[in-house]
Structure 1
Amino acid sequence: MILVTGATGTTGSIVLRNLAEKGAAARAMARDPGRVPAGFEVVRGDFEDAASLRAAVKGVEAVFLLSSPGGHVATHDLALVDAALGTGVRKIVKVSAIGTGEQGYETTSGWHQPGEEAIRASGLAWTILRPSSFASNALSWAPQIQAGEPLLNHFGTGTNGVVAPRDIAAVAVDALLTDNHDGQVYTLTGPELLSMPEQVAQLAAVIGRPLKVIPGTDDQLRADLLALGADEEFVGFVLKGYEFVRQGGNAVLTGDVERALGRPPGTFKAWAEQNRAAFL
């Protein structure tokens, strides 16, 4: 039995489906079990409820560990590791973040490094996945595209090794089902470095519609995020992250997807083609 946390999110939902397609026994953990698609075993679980975590890991051999971004990640990771110890769990596959422990990535390192260290010290088998920018982040542009509005570029000419969620999930599933990736730390990127305008140009070609990109300002971004209910800590993290990309700090490519899967990673354009309908 494999426990999938974050089972209603972008990557977790793909992991859950892929495990089912391979005939593996999988259990989805969710705060709202009603959000998990029918046909999957599901358990109500909350990272901040120790009793629910102990129930979730009962009878489980491996855990896919994924928590939503934010300062709570370290607490969630440590709670899951604590619940797993002394049970039948023998492996944890954790989704971390690119650059954890490196200069320039201090905020996300603070989120993920405590969990990484606890998993390494747990005595369990483990694999750590550190993905770069998700291709699916482009879905946030859909409302503007559908409304015929220009897209705001807060990244300048900075680039990311944009990675498809399906590739992250594929590495995770293989790590959960085999011992081939035990003790490995993978920095997962796509095959090319792309700026935001380059991504938009590829997306425009896929949907067959011209798309306009205009520069965005930090003041504008701050106001938009605060209007959406973000707190100052999160706004500061976003602004710092965008500046880091603008300065070329996240221009990182690796061969870790191919090293793990024996095939090259998917391109952003291929992801866009698979998700074309979301932008129309």
Structure 2
Amino acid sequence: MRRRPHVLVTNDDGIDAPGLLALAHTACEQGYDVTVAAPHRQASGCAGGLTMFLVDERIEVSHRRLPGLPGVEAYAVAAHPGMIALAAVLGRFGPVPDLVLSGINEGSNLGAAVLHSGTASAAMVAGVHGVTALAASLHLDFEIEQPAAVGAARHWDTAAAVVDAILPNIMSADAGSVFNLNVPNLPGEQVRPLVAAPWTLAGTAPTLLPFIAAFDRHADALPVQDLPSPDITIVEGSDIAHVRGGHPTLSLLRWNGDTAIEWVDSVLT
């Protein structure tokens, strides 16, 4: 009997995040064997950190039950997503996964923000150890730029539907390839067609600005009134430009062979 592909679902927003649940549901609906392992608390912006939150020199790992997924093994882990992904690809959460899904993040991971993202970094950790991975994020930057919009509906179903549509292709990509998906926070009927776009470091995304603002508030010794925010540069044809235009946008962060490149190119045709 043929073994079902094993998928590890993680994130950096924590085990109770609605985006994590939406992503796990999507993987289960595809018929995969799913395990969920995510930080026990919010861990955004931790990049590929291997930090563990030790209690009495032990890392806390607790079983959880996720709504609507009674047969799925789920773990709340006192560690950053980079550590969780590393543990997973070394077989610490059951069989070594065939695919790591990270997200769905509350906020985009675009441009230079990818370097700081726990969501994207968990996928990259999996990729460099030979496991195909997808980082998925919900683009909310317009809400950061317009504070009155904060608290608006989160269209997790829209992002999950895009993941559902591309997941078989992601699964068939060369092992170790890493993809980055950003989906506009819009009702499904308002979303424009999926596009593939190059990931570029030119500029950052507004999701970084709250982190800089928090640093400024707490850095008492610094002349914070003189500190600039990162530049937000919109490069034509980039991932940032496309997702701000309403397109779910797929970028390739790492590839291993030709299949991944060919598949991303095929999205444009």
| TM-score with structure 1 setting the length | 0.42
Q: Which has the higher helix share?
A: 1
| TM-score with structure 2 setting the length | 0.43
Q: Which structure has the bigger radius of gyration?
A: 1
Q: Which has the higher strand share?
A: 2
